[in-house]
Amino acid sequence: MPTATNQISPAELACAVEAFLATHPSSSVLEEGRVLFDMQTARYSVSAAHGRCVIQFWSEERNIVRTVTGISTRKEMLRLETRRFGQTRPQMLELVSTSDRRTPTVRETTRKRYVHLLERVLVLSFPDAKIGEMRTAMDLEHSFGPAYARATLLLGQKAWAIIAVNGEEPESTIDGILTVGILWLDYCRRHSGSRRIFQGLKVIVPPGAEPATRARMAWMNPALATWELYTLQEHSEELQSVPLEEGNLETRLVQAFDPVRVKERMRGAIDSVLALLPSSMRQRTEVCAISTSEISFRLHGLEFARARRTLAAGSFHHQDAISFGAGRNETPLTPESEVLFGELMQRLCEGRSANGSVLHPLYRLQPERWLESELRKSIGEVEPSLREEVVYSQVPAFSAGDRGMIDLLGITRSGRLAVLEVKADEDLHLPLQALDYWIRVRSVHADGELRRHGYFPQLEIADRPPLLILVAPALRIHPANETVLRSLKPEVEWTLAALDEHWRQRLKVIFRRKSHPQPFPDC
């Protein structure tokens, strides 16, 4: 059911809009079903002054300014009741988060057509086998959604689980197929009794969409199942086998730098920003160097301002340019915008506090970044063997044209690398997302790239695969996560650390699950 919030204050309206747009940077703004702005390219500002919440959207094509008078929320959507200046009749703007903007009817038709095609292809490709029932129905109890076609391939007492996805689905859905496939194989085995032995899993994806799944499947445990990957060209109905090789993702790192020197060099900009903050916020603000010429200001992981060192116009002298807000809401900090900055900081200070209201949008915004900021301060609580003095946060890794960010990269006292993936909310795909980063770190370490790019200077890095550490609040760990983790090869040594729900007040691990560590020969 929609949640109406029409009786909230202008400041709360502004917070709700900011939180939605910050959480969904690829959202769209619709009016009467027509897309006015794509927030990947458009910009916005929102303020709550003089008893009104005013929002502005602009792009190269258009510019609108509206007063927001009410909000109603639905899943992945925010509906704004707005008024134009000088008009009393309300108008509705819809902020839609999903990148899949097909109508439900179009999605259903596409999926039904794909199921019929898949049945024909499987019959032709595996003539000696019988195709079991094809399923696409939603099954929330077992984490199966309608985007994936699930089937079985029967050969006497032997059988295979089959999972497939069509090329019209969003990229994130296609990349999530292996997680669902592992759960489908587990389901088939548990419900087959002693009648059939399921040998393994066949995964079918569109051509060109296989790199991520291929890299992941190379690290599935062959002792547990046989893993096979295929591509299906829908136009020609051609099914092609994809070889699985334990190769490395195409990965490159950015050069590491000394954050202390960056802060010293930009001390003037740092002092200018801190001086404008409320005193109660100043002590809680993190000042993070994110490059050799850029400083990020964060409150419990939420970035609210940046300082960049640039060349002054018409000269070779450097100057520090300060902006506030984030993403498409970024605004230069000038004497004219200081009032707006102060207003935003006051809302931020009140809403983003460890003892604040859990209903406040700024309290709920970007929980992973909040949790990550707490881990940086107390990483030894999660894994006592980790060095606390050297932890890299949001390490950029580029792979196959896609930019990824490793949440935290640490090292143990014995010199073993550790990849930490952080989630504050339940996520079915957490294990394989973490595996992506583990593969990348393993690759750059094996190639000597970490040392060449200046990571962990003066420390000896052990010649061993990294540890994989997944961190999440205990009640937010998806029940299926362990099933997926236990499908990984023994070389992927993992720990699942479950935190107390009150981690914002105090970071405390209440239980750990671990893989069975593999003996490592002395060299």
pLDDT of 88-144, one tens digit each?
A: 788 899 898 765 656 678 888 999 999 999 999 999 999 999 998 889 888 888 889
Q: What is the 3-class SS of 168-196, one letter each residue?
A: CCCHHHHHCHHHHHHHHHHHHHHHCCCCC
Single-letter amino acid, residue 384: P
Which two structure tokens, joined as six digits, stand for 143? 């984490």
Single-letter amino acid, residue 337: S
pLDDT for the residue 247: 52
Q: Is the dihedral of CA 287, 288, 289, 295 positive or negative?
A: negative
Q: What is the DSSP letter of 144?
A: B
pLDDT for the residue 521: 41
Residues 174, 207 contacting (CB under 8 angstroms): no
Helix, strand, or coil (residue 19): helix
Residues 387, 412 contacting (CB under 8 angstroms): yes
Give per-residue pLDDT as tens, 451-488. Answer: 899 999 989 999 999 999 999 999 999 999 999 999 99
- The closest alpha carbon to 293, from 275, 314, 311, belongs to 311
* All residues at 6 or more sequence positions from 32 whose CB lies less than 8 Å from its CB, including other chains: 92
pLDDT for the residue 13: 87
Single-letter amino acid, residue 208: G
Q: Is the dihedral of CA 424, 429, 435, 438 positive or negative?
A: negative
Q: Is the dihedral of CA 261, 264, 269, 270 positive or negative?
A: positive
300: alpha, beta or left, given left = phi > 0 and alpha = psi -120 to 50? left
Based on its alpha-carbon atoms, the radius of gyration of the chain, rounded to whole angstroms, reads 25
Residues 183, 145 contacting (CB under 8 angstroms): no
As a whole number of angstroms, the distance between CA 29 and CA 66 comes to: 13
As a whole number of angstroms, the distance between CA 287 and CA 275 comes to: 13
Residues of the chain with pLDDT under 70: 1-7, 75, 98-103, 246-252, 313-316, 326-328, 396-405, 517-523
pLDDT for the residue 404: 57
* All residues at 6 or more sequence positions from 339 whose CB lies less than 8 Å from its CB, including other chains: none
CB atoms within 10 A of CB 213: 24
Strand 43-49 to 509-514 pairing: unpaired
Q: What is the DSSP letter of 140?
A: G
Q: Where are the beta strands (DSSP E) in 328-456?
A: 331-332, 392-399, 402-411, 417-422
**pTM across the whole model:** 0.81
pLDDT for the residue 23: 78
As a whole number of angstroms, the distance between CA 468 and CA 267 comes to: 36
Q: Where are the beta strands (DSSP E) in 177-293?
A: 197-205, 226-233, 238-242, 251-253, 285-291
Q: Where are the beta strands (DSSP E) in 366-447?
A: 392-399, 402-411, 417-422
Helix, strand, or coil (residue 80): strand
Q: Give, in order, the Cα–Cα distances in Å from 487 to each of 116, 176, 396, 436, 483.
A: 30, 15, 27, 15, 7
